[in-house]
Amino acid sequence: MDLHDIIIVGSGPAGTAAALQLAGGDVLLLDAGFTSPKIPKNFCGDLYHLRKKELNLFPSLVGDNFESLANLFTDKKINLKLKSPYMSYIIRNWKMLSHIDSTSFEGVVSLAKGGLANAWGAGVFRYTDEDLKEFPISYVDLEPYYDRLTEHVGISGVNDDLSPWFQQDKGLLPPIRLCGMAADLMERYIAAREFFNTEGIFMGLARLAVLTVKHRGRAPYAYDHMEFFRPNIEAIYTPAFTLDELVCEGRVTYNPGWLVERFEEIDGGVQVCARPVNGGEASFFKCRKLLLGAGALNTARIVLASARDNVTLLPIMDNPMSCFPVFRLDRLGRVIEPEDASVGQLNIIYEGEEDVGTVQGSFMAPMALYARM
């Protein structure tokens, strides 16, 4: 059995970012690694014009197995970004391989190559010292790594009124083009900025892992709303892009098809136990150092299983979220915007009462709703 210098578990944002920093040594990344299905060549361009061509879009939008209608015949709600036929691989077999049994919590686990970031909102924010006040590290410690990821990923946006909460990013790409309604909101905020700021309200453009210009060989965002239906869009970053690059350069060894169950410390290092995702006997991998980046839920599961601990209760920390529509009646009847951005447009911060703390909101383009109808 080979003894690797480092084993990383998981190919999501945490695991892949660690692999990027450690690449070049003897690094093995273990992962379940489900990948997307083959996408028809003619399934490209914005949905508005695709429908005008009268193509048979049922397999791509609804699915031969009615994947996009899953909320109608399951007892669990499924995120809009995970329902469409070509995106459903992101949560493939997770209930069987990494089951969560709860009546009060609805978690989602991804065993896909790149993790849940294959269908994320692409919003990226740096931690501040306020965020890290309970941690043994500070923003200064993380800053050089944030700077490297900003350049590597390609982050669009500006340093504006939200910088006190999101830090000052260096090397930002130009921001996305705002849709009409978002542009109206931003204009009105700027005109009354002093009033809003006095009331504890601050607004700015979204900082997104979305390319607005060509970057590191990847094409810019096409404003076609396809991110809810088509995976691996070059302009919207996923950790799978980084992993493919590192593997192609021979700087990391990627071993997909494994579900890590536990680990134990041995003389000279760590032994990792993993099972094939398609069934079979467990295998063992040895390393000097082990990094767990399997997501909060699976990482906790691995640690508890390794300690043979079936008693300890771990707290689940989550950000409560509410979604609601925003209408502008004076925009009714205007020409639709079939080629615009479905990704986040604006972010808003409200510094509320002391017992409420900071509240963050995001504005999504209204065309995103049209594209999913």
Q: What is the pLDDT of residue 317?
A: 75
Q: Is the pTM of this model over 0.75?
A: yes
Q: What is the pLDDT of residue 112?
A: 96
Which pLDDT band holds residue 366 (cuts at 50, 70, 90)?
Answer: low
- Pair 364, 342: CB distance under 8 Å: yes
Tokens, residue 29: 């990344």
Cα four-point dihedral sign 225, 231, 234, 236: positive
Closest to 12 in 3D by CA, of 126, 77, 81, 90: 90
Q: What is the pLDDT of residue 275?
A: 96
**Which one is predicted more confidently, 57 or 258?**
258
- Structural domain count of the chain: 1
Q: What is the pLDDT of residue 114?
A: 96
Residue 149 is assigned to a structural domain of this protein? yes
Instruction: Express as a percent the part of the chain with pLDDT over 90.
Output: 57
Instruction: Say yes or no to pLDDT of 24 above 80.
Output: yes
Q: What is the pLDDT of residue 28?
A: 97
Domain hosting 185: range is 3-308+322-372
> What is the full DSSP assignment across 231-277?
S--TTB--HHHHHHHHHHTTSSEEEESEEEEEEEEETTEEEEEEEET
Residue 313 is assigned to a structural domain of this protein? no
Which pLDDT band holds residue 373 (cuts at 50, 70, 90)?
Answer: very low
**Count of all residues that appear for the chain in the document:** 373
Residue 316 is assigned to a structural domain of this protein? no
Helix, strand, coil content of the chain in percent (nearest 5): 30, 20, 50
Residue that the structure tokens 């398609």 belong to: 278
209 vs 114: CA distance, rounded Å: 14
Residue 120 is assigned to a structural domain of this protein? yes
Compute the average pLDDT of residues 60-80: 78
Q: What is the pLDDT of residue 370?
A: 45
Q: pLDDT tens, 276-309?
A: 999 889 999 999 999 999 999 999 999 999 999 9
Q: Which long-range contacts (CB under 8 A, 24 or more apart) does 22-26 make?
A: 23/246, 23/249, 23/251, 23/252, 24/251, 26/253
Which pLDDT band holds residue 371 (cuts at 50, 70, 90)?
Answer: very low
Instruction: Say yes or no to pLDDT of 335 above 90.
Output: no
Instruction: Say yes or no to pLDDT of 107 above 90.
Output: no
Residue 44's identity, in one-letter code, is C
Q: Report CA-CA distances (Å) from 259 to 7, 62, 289, 307.
A: 13, 30, 18, 17
Q: In what order do the strands lie in the sheet with 344-351?
A: 201-205, 344-351, 358-364
**Which one is predicted more confidently, 79 or 360?**
360
- Pair 310, 120: CB distance under 8 Å: no
Compute how many other C-beta atoms are within 10 angstroms of the C-beta atom of residue 115. Answer: 28
Which pLDDT band holds residue 118 (cuts at 50, 70, 90)?
Answer: very high
Q: pLDDT tens, 146-162?
A: 999 999 999 999 999 99
163 vs 146: CA distance, rounded Å: 15
Strand boundaries in the chain, DSSP class E: 3-9, 27-31, 201-205, 253-256, 258-266, 269-276, 283-292, 344-351, 358-364
Q: What is the pLDDT of residue 54?
A: 67
Instruction: Say yes or no to pLDDT of 19 above 70.
Output: yes
Residue 179 is assigned to a structural domain of this protein? yes
286 vs 180: CA distance, rounded Å: 55
Instruction: Say yes or no to pLDDT of 104 above 80.
Output: no
Considering only 16-30, 159-173, 185-199, 340-354, which range has the smallest mean pLDDT?
340-354
Residue 171 is assigned to a structural domain of this protein? yes
Residue 344 is assigned to a structural domain of this protein? yes
Q: Report CA-CA distances (Å) from 44 to 82, 231, 285, 309, 367.
A: 19, 11, 42, 49, 17
Q: pLDDT tens, 34-52?
A: 999 999 888 888 887 888 8
Q: What is the pLDDT of residue 75?
A: 64
